[in-house]
Structure 1
Amino acid sequence: MKFSAKPVKGTFDVLPEDMELRNWVRNVISNAYLSRGYTQIETPCIENLDLLTNSEGGENLSLLFKILKRGNKLDFNDLSENALCDLGLRFDLTLPLSRFYANNRNELPMPFKAFQTGYVWRAERPQKGRFRQFTQCDIDIIGDKTIYAEIDLMLTVPKALYDLGFRNFTIKINDRRLLKELVLAAGFTESQFDTVCISLDKTDKIGTSGVISDLQTKGFEDDTIRQLISSLEIDLENFDSPYARDLKKIMDVTAKYYSILFDPTLVRGMGYYTGPIFEVVSDEFKGSIAGGGRYDNLLSKFQNESVPAVGFAIGFERIVAILKERGFTIPKRDKRKIALIVLDETFTDKAIALSESLIAQENIAAIHYVNKKKLGKKIEALEKEGYEKIQIVDENTTEESFKSI
């Protein structure tokens, strides 16, 4: 029996050239985060299923990858979900961060500024820019209830995007509390708010007419729907609330550095957001390339007290896809790349010693090959990989041969 060599649908293999680009993007983002005082952490890919399913993760809860119990724990006489599964793959990095903080808070500063980069999983319908396994790059601030936490995020994530070469992007911002005022004022009930938000969250994909149809399909009255759609054209100045004033302050500060606008239709899919929410949209991609918001109640799942928190995530895969479509070339590397080729195996030990000596120098990366056939093709391939000097090792080769590198 022959097996398919293709990766699972919705996942992907990463070729060396793509891996180099991904590492560069990851390093640029990490350096931008580090430059503003964020410290790096890591959380497990697997979480307890009861935590994931009680996370207010919106539609992502229907996209969970669940893991069967193992060994004696697995009882096929009971086919209910709780009997069969006890773990799941994380669908974002925010929920794991909240659990991480609750578990380690006595060893962490307050406020805690953290970033993490890693794979997350969602059982999506695969399409361009949307995978079942993909990387997120998150920054979060835990323990700061002021709008200056949002402002810090607003200046950090765009800085990372700017360092990656992005210029034509805009930050969209809203507040879940302002959105809730509009939804309730239109005639929807409190219990219907999350359902309405799920429809509104599709605005950028299906347009206003699509949202209206979606709400009609859910059985809502036409007059109520029309009232809501009409109210979403409101300007921020028309709100008379402290939330609106805070939002305006965030925008006034951020606008000095990056393009930002108020978007009353902005929802964000996660149900755990409690205040300001935001996305970054680019002219080069249909949809957002970064997003986040405040989630002050999420940590209360682990402790009695509520701890303020706000985060922002970059859509790593979308950034990489855009750069590839541009034909982007990674800036010249600090390390010089040298290849040593051995045609006569007598000189193999010499080549190894030379490569080890070269690698010991901070600015050089070296490899060696024993190669007797198709030398021209090998040299051509090495040049394509970025090797600047290709040296055939013989009796005359010494460290002096590389002094000019």
Structure 2
Amino acid sequence: MVRMASQVNPPRGMRDFLPADKAKREHAFSVIKRVYRDHGFDEIETPVVEDHARLHAGLGGDNEKLSFSILKRGLGAEALAAAAETGDAEQLADLGLRFDLTVPLSRFYASHRAELPPVFRSIQMGPVWRAERPQKGRYRQFVQVDIDVIGEAGLLAEVELLSATSRVFAELGLTGCVFRVNDRRILFGLLDHCGFAPETHDRALIIVDKLDKIGAEGVIGELRELDPEAAERLGAVLAAVEPRLAGDGIPLTAEAISAVLPAGAAAEGVANLAEIGAALEGVLPEGVELRFDPTLVRGMGYYTGTIFEVAHPGSGSSVGGGGRYDGMIGRFLGQDVPAVGSSIGFERIVDLIELPASTGPEAVALVHDADAAPADLASLKAALVARGHRVRLERRQKNMKTLLARVAEQGFTRFANVRAGERDVDALELRELSA
């Protein structure tokens, strides 16, 4: 039976990567890992599967609705029918694929706290899964790269996190990055000042988070349903801030932040951001800026203090983000543990970077005659590999131009013709390849 082309494509929302794509991804991985390790972070690994109940414990916000569940083994028709009737998902699934790396990290820390230092700095890199509606830039399987500082209650954690993350973007050649920074305490202070009742705060922030999608008028329109007068007051604040955000932005200083906020609103959050800005002055690499953005919300409800997102002129969406989530780990331990995390939008930055010219061992293609003896080819290849080269055997073909262009495109820099009977590696003539 002939299979249709659509039947051999990857599942919808997931992707294959050709060698050139994989090489660029591995380059990004290596840069990220090196920079974060240089900043004192240690890599850990967690399972891709977690308990279903843990993934649906209210820690993951809206992402919980997008999680993939794994059916229990041995379910019969009666069990499936009973679960369908009651709507109880846990009758069907006891495990699920992780939808982010923060929930697994929280479980990991709760499991291994006694074996870890008082302040633990972690790196996690790996795939996660969400039942997204596939579209450009959104996939059902994608890679997340996270660093977290657990156990440090002071703003030193944010300073380390922002410093290390900014260095990653610089090392990847992504200049022009702007870190938009806010504090959840400023957001709640603004809502209080404008007159929103405390019980409406979470709903109000969900609406404000739509600002880039529906605009200020749309946001104020939805907020009027919660409190018309409070919505108008917040609208006036947004109207005053908008020109500053559209211009050069708002520096992360107490004076600049206070100038765009109502007098006395969220003094603790303002002081926190100003101190972070002062600590990072002269530390961030060239081409990276910190800017205050009072409209930044980040949709995850577990954030408790500093929040940030990273914008790059080459991307229409954020290329990173994170914040402080002091209450999450306590859900596992029974006591609060301070924590701050940062996630890089790996799939987006890979689209923005270029793979640098190879600086490692020279890559050599041995183009051999069809009748060259396997033993001779194996001997030549082993000798070149032992000298530090990357080596590939390529059978000679009629169209040599196409062959050489292909291996050059795949990163090979030199080639040698190997005739039948050749076995002396020193006699090979290594010739230059041009990409």
Moved more, 367-376 or 184-193: 367-376
Q: Find the partner of 1:177 among 185, 189, 193.
A: 185
Count residues with an aligned counterpart.
Answer: 398
Q: Which residue of 1 aligns with 2:152?
A: 144
Query: Are positions 1:210 and 2:213 aligned together?
Result: no
Q: Secondary structure at 2:316's aligned position in 1?
A: strand
Conserved? CA contact 1:137–1:313, under 8 Å? yes
Q: Secondary structure at 1:298's aligned position in 2?
A: coil
Q: Can you list the C-alpha shifts for 1:233-254, whole angstroms capped at 9, x where unaligned?
A: 5762244623321211101222
Residue 69 of structure 1 aligns with an amino acid whose one-letter code is K
Cα distance in 2 between the residues matched to 1:385 and 1:307: 48
Query: 1:367 deviation in Å?
Result: 1.6
Residue 278 of structure 2 aligns with an amino acid whose one-letter code is D
Query: Are positions 1:11 and 2:14 aligned together?
Result: yes
Query: 1:404 deviation in Å?
Result: 6.9
Query: Are positions 1:42 and 2:45 aligned together?
Result: yes
Q: Can you list the C-alpha shifts for 1:280-332, whole angstroms capped at 9, x where unaligned?
A: 11122122111000011111111122111101111001111223xxxx34232
Query: 1:389 deviation in Å?
Result: 2.0
Cα distance in 2 between the residues matched to 1:290 and 1:154: 11
Query: Are positions 1:154 and 2:162 aligned together?
Result: yes
Conserved? CA contact 2:416–2:430, under 8 Å? no
Task: Return closer, same or farther for 1:372/1:231 CA change in 2, 3 Å cut-off.
Answer: closer
Query: 1:383 deviation in Å?
Result: 2.3
Conserved? CA contact 1:137–1:315, under 8 Å? yes
Q: Which residue of 1 aligns with 2:257?
A: 236
Cα distance in 2 between the residues matched to 1:49 and 1:339: 50
1:150-299 maps to which residues of 2 (within 5 A)?
A: 150-216=158-224, 219-232=225-238, 233=240, 236-237=257-258, 238=263, 239=265, 241-256=267-282, 257=284, 258-299=288-329
Q: Secondary structure at 2:199's aligned position in 1?
A: helix
1:64-79 maps to which residues of 2 (within 5 A)?
A: 64-72=67-75, 75-78=79-82, 79=84
Query: Are positions 1:358 and 2:358 aligned together?
Result: no
Cα distance in 1 between the residues matched to 2:390 and 2:185: 54
Query: Are positions 1:400 and 2:429 aligned together?
Result: no
Query: 1:6 deviation in Å?
Result: 2.3
Q: Which residue of 1 aligns with 2:407?
A: 382
Q: Which residue of 1 aligns with 2:364?
A: 338
Q: Which residue of 1 aligns with 2:253?
A: none
Task: Return closer, same or farther for 1:163/1:129 CA change in 2, 3 Å cut-off.
Answer: same
Cα distance in 2 between the residues matched to 1:215 and 1:178: 18
Residue 301 of structure 1 aligns with an amino acid whose one-letter code is R
Cα distance in 1 between the residues matched to 2:76 and 2:272: 51
Query: 1:69 deviation in Å?
Result: 1.7
Q: Which runs of 5+ in 2 are unaligned?
A: 242-255
Cα distance in 1 between the residues matched to 2:413 and 2:28: 23
Residue 358 of structure 1 aligns with an amino acid whose one-letter code is L
Query: 1:374 deviation in Å?
Result: 4.3
Q: Can you list the C-alpha shifts for 1:121-142, whole angstroms capped at 9, x where unaligned?
A: 2222222222222111111001
1:16-27 maps to which residues of 2 (within 5 A)?
A: 16-27=19-30
Cα distance in 1 between the residues matched to 2:191 and 2:212: 18
Q: Secondary structure at 1:287's aligned position in 2?
A: coil
Q: Can you list the C-alpha shifts for 1:43-98, whole angstroms capped at 9, x where unaligned?
A: 11111121111133222122222222221588213222121222222121111111
Cα distance in 2 between the residues matched to 1:82 and 1:241: 44
Q: Can you list the C-alpha shifts for 1:168-190, whole angstroms capped at 9, x where unaligned?
A: 11111111122112123323232
Provide the TM-score with structure 1 as the length reference.
Answer: 0.91
RMSD of aligned residue pairs (Cα, Å) = 2.2
Provide the TM-score with structure 2 as the length reference.
Answer: 0.85
Cα distance in 1 between the residues matched to 2:367 and 2:174: 40
Taking every aligned residue pair, what percent have the same amino acid on both sides? 37
Cα distance in 1 between the residues matched to 2:162 and 2:76: 46
Cα distance in 2 between the residues matched to 1:190 and 1:205: 25
Q: Secondary structure at 1:77's aligned position in 2?
A: helix
Q: Which runs of 5+ in 1 are unaligned?
A: none
Conserved? CA contact 2:55–2:98, under 8 Å? yes
Q: Secondary structure at 1:13's aligned position in 2?
A: coil
Query: Are positions 1:349 and 2:366 aligned together?
Result: no
